[in-house]
Amino acid sequence: MRRKDPCYGFNNGGTFCWWNQLMQRCFGEIINDHRLITKLTVNTFDFYATGDAWTLQNNDVSFLAFLKCMTLFGNFIEKYNK
């Protein structure tokens, strides 16, 4: 990740473009075919968009609830500190 593109391409081409650039930088020297790298990006992008790519661990739900609570609390504090 670079300072120029800090949020996975949020303001610069979108997430797919960011992933495609990442694949190009990682594999461009060994795969000298832009179409093949794009196909690799599509397959990777599509795979991680499914539930098959992820496994929910036992403590994840409680940790995610904690993070949500802390985010809400942080937003509350920030609002009243202005």
- Give the count of beta carbons closer than 10 Å to the beta carbon of residue 37: 19
- Domain membership of residue 3 (yes or no) is no
pTM, rounded to two decimals: 0.55
Residues of the chain under the 70 pLDDT cut: 1-12, 57-60, 72-82
Distance, CA of 40 to CA of 29 (rounded, Å): 15
- Domain membership of residue 9 (yes or no) is no
Could you list the residue range(s) of the whole structural domain that residue 30 is in?
A: 14-80
Helix 34-48 to helix 14-27 angle (10° resolution) is: 120
- Domain membership of residue 30 (yes or no) is yes
Quick one: which of 34, 19, 41, 44 has its CA closest to 8? 19
Q: Structural domain tally of the chain?
A: 1
Per-residue pLDDT, 55 = 78
- Domain membership of residue 7 (yes or no) is no
Distance, CA of 13 to CA of 8 (rounded, Å): 9
